[in-house]
Amino acid sequence: MLTMVFAGWRKTGGIDLEALEMLIRSGLHQLGADALSRLLGMPGPRPATVPCSCGQPAHFHDIRPKQLMTILGRVGFERAYYVCPSCQQGQIPRDSELDVAGTECSPGLRRMMAVVGSESSFQQGREQLAVLAGVEVTAKAVERHAEEVGSDMARREQENIDRAVQLELPQILGKPVPIMYIALDGTQVPMVHSELEGRAGRTAGQPARTREVKHNSLGLTRVGPARDNPHARGR
């Protein structure tokens, strides 16, 4: 790397700092990927059997390689493969331990793809990863992992809702509730200047930029500051 840098310096009489930055980052990524491959490939405990979902033990069958795309680049390592003689199902405990079962992308890279995929188009997300992280992936990979993470978040939220309805609410509703407190709050929406004339802003000394949206008991929506509603109270 230094040979390339000094050769270019002697040839042009200067240094392209951006090119130098990218060159060093690429070299460090390669070094990191090699270190990661060695760490993942280190020998560890390899039991003769592991539990199977059918309740019977799965037996060691052979060693199988895996290629994994990470935030440092592509790495390769080997892991033990087990087969259950009862249900004939195979499994690789190491993949589950590393959270890479059924995927060729590391958890860190999947998180990156989910972030860029949720902020822009999948193609733009692919380009952002290449420029900002030096990682080359396809737009389809960004789409797939962004949708998977989104689906997983929705599933977790639904589980929390179901747990509240099924477990927590029946216990609460089984007791008498003498007093129930209900709190309402509005939200601010941007308005054109003509709708804000003569109105003070939410910050002292600043002009108003928004007005509060309210919803009445008849389902009708109106817009106005909190002081327009005599029944509006603070949080």
Mean pLDDT by 10 residues, the chain (235 residues): 77 81 90 94 89 94 94 94 94 94 92 87 90 90 87 84 62 69 81 82 81 62 47 40
- Amino acid at site 135: V
Cβ atoms of 29 and 68 closer than 8 Å: no
pLDDT at 64: 94
pLDDT at 225: 47
pLDDT at 233: 41
214 Cβ neighbours under 8 A, 6+ residues apart = 186, 221, 222, 223, 224, 229, 232
pLDDT at 90: 94
Rg for the chain (alpha carbons), in Å? Answer: 29
Question: CA end-to-end span of the chain, whole Å?
Answer: 61
pLDDT at 165: 59
Kindly state the DSSP code that residue 205 receives in the 8-state scheme: T
pLDDT at 218: 46
Cβ atoms of 232 and 216 closer than 8 Å: no
